[in-house]
Copies of this chain bind each other. A is one copy, B any other.
């Protein structure tokens, strides 16, 4: 295993441990147990747990952002976009990304470095949302409102808030209901050639 592979193994184990155990129980020992390596491996790659969490925030956010960029490339309309986002969201859940991010955002209230990293990642997601929205709205009456930046901010905030609430909820059907509703609106928009 190369140094980079070993480091990535620690990061993946951290995402999984955050998702399954929650932030408070994500100790070096718990991460090592999840990943099947000695706790010392963590300190070979990272200064301390704060450093590890900051890097994990960047790692999981950027890996998912790459997938989102690839999967939304060449989107053909509103319904198509909603369907692709639904698939991406299902992947987020399966990888533990959503639960891990929720834990890291919660933890960011007590770590300035983590808060800073969450801000950086949030800005990247807002830029991504803005690009997708600008593509979707180009040539429509909505483009004239020049609201893509604010819509992108609301989209990222709503995504984060929905995940937070469904993470707190035992039954997490809320996102599915929202995708269903979004698909109805998208179908109407597509049939009216709004986008």
Contact = CB atoms under 8 A, between A and B. Distances in A.
Interface residues of A, number: 40
Given A159-B161, A165-B157, A22 B110 contact: yes
Given A158-B158, A161-B158, A161-B159, A153 B168 contact: no
* SS of A interface (majority): helix
B161 A164 contact: yes
Contacts of A153: 162, 174, 177-178
A119 interface: yes
A1 interface: no
Interface string A78-116: 000000000000000000000000110111111000010
B162 A22 contact: no
A119 to B, nearest CB: 6
Interface string A101-142: 011011111100001001100100000000000000000000
Given A168-B108, A168-B119, A161 B156 contact: yes
Contacts of A188: 145
A145 B24 contact: no
Interface of A: 22-24, 102-103, 105-110, 115, 118-119, 122, 145, 147, 150, 153-154, 156-162, 164-165, 167-169, 174, 177-178, 181-182, 184-185, 188
